[in-house]
Amino acid sequence: MKSLYSKKIMDRFLNPRNMGKLANPDGIGDTENLRCGDIMRIGIKVEDNVIKEIKFETLGCAPAIASSDMICELAKGKTLEKAKKIKYEDIVDKLGELPPPKIHCTQLAEKALKMAIKDYEKKQ
């Protein structure tokens, strides 16, 4: 039986590398999709304008968790300016093909990261 999702999506869903809660994050981005019920939180720790640590907490489907994990992977070690340029299409490129109704998961992850960065910048 063929899976609805790519192997990369299933791997990131079943074995997320960046799941968890950061103690004392420098910035937090919370977002949700009321229609599907996905809830995402991304926390970042920043040193010298670089995202040194990043974790996510997501309540949602496999693509939502995989997207959260992948955006963390893409942002870790990047300057804030480079992290701001990460788009949902970058997540799709890394995860592989998503069913069209699940693209919103990648958009939520992009939004949560940008909200975390904005929260950090607001505190500076």
pLDDT value at position 23?
Answer: 95
Whether the CB-CB separation of 67 and 90 falls below 8 Å is answered with no
Q: What are phi and psi of 55, to 5 degrees?
A: -140, 160
pLDDT digits (tens, 9 = 90+) for 16-48: 999 999 999 999 999 998 888 899 999 999 999
Active-site annotation holds for 61:
no
Comparing CA positions, the residue from 33, 2, 9 lying closest to residue 91 is: 9
Does pLDDT of 116 surpass 80? yes
Q: What is the CA radius of gyration of the chain?
A: 14
Mean model confidence pLDDT for the chain: 95
- Domains of the chain (ranges plus CATH)? 7-123 (3.90.1010.10)
Q: Which residue has the higher pLDDT, 1 or 95?
A: 95
Task: Write down the residue that tokens 């490129």 correspond to.
Answer: 93
Catalytic residue among 44, 105, 108, 115: 105
pLDDT value at position 4?
Answer: 82
Question: What is the share, in percent, of the chain residues with pLDDT greater than 90?
Answer: 86
Catalytic residue among 10, 28, 36, 39: 36
Whether the CB-CB separation of 109 and 124 falls below 8 Å is answered with no
pLDDT digits (tens, 9 = 90+) for 68-92: 999 999 999 999 999 999 999 999 9
pLDDT value at position 35?
Answer: 82
Active-site annotation holds for 36:
yes
Task: Write down the residue that tokens 């997501």 correspond to.
Answer: 58
Q: Which residue has the higher pLDDT, 2 or 53?
A: 53
Does pLDDT of 2 surpass 80? no
pLDDT value at position 114?
Answer: 98
Can you point out the beta strands (E) in the chain? 27-32, 39-47, 50-59
